[in-house]
Amino acid sequence: MPGVRQTVTTEASRDRVFAYVDDYRNVPSWMFGVTRFTPVTDHTSGLGATYEACMKIGPKNLTSTLRVTEWVENECVVLTSIAGFDVRTGWRFADGADGQTLVDVNFDYDLPGGLAGRALGAIIEPVVGQAVRQTEAALRAAVESSDAA
């Protein structure tokens, strides 16, 4: 499964960063390309919470149904697709030096085989690294701003 790994360092506290990432209402404002992130279960946080998501990458809209498959408060959130575009994304939170927070981000995806998969790969692969960097910058700006408190 191709993917991207990145570590984000922020001046915000771990509980603040985790709470911001864990709140589904914030996702479209900081995650690159996400145009919709809507809960489909009554609970909207924690293990088993499920969302319908749409991500625009280039000219393509990719839809997925994502379920939280791993969740530990202030430590990790992992979402795995159960339908649609095959993706697994994980966010792991740790204390850094001098009150900083380290966020390890994993974004793994699987493309279909054949011509369709190669065509989709030609669209997605050039922007994945850029998407992670923009997501990192947007997340850092949001959690370090006075508005995120």
Q: Which string of b and e fits 58-90 if b means at least 16 CB within 10 Å?
A: eeeebebebbbeebeebeebbbbbeeebbbbbb
Q: What pLDDT, in 10s, does the model give residues 47-84?
A: 999 999 998 877 778 899 999 999 999 999 999 999 99
What's the CATH code of the domain at 52? 3.30.530.20
Distance CA 104, CA 3 (A): 13
Residue ranges making up the domain that contains 119: 3-148
C-alpha span between 62 and 54 (Å, rounded): 6
Q: How many domains does the chain have?
A: 1
What global pTM score does this model have?
Answer: 0.82
pLDDT at residue 137, as a whole number: 81
Q: State pLDDT tens for residues 91-105.
A: 999 999 888 999 998
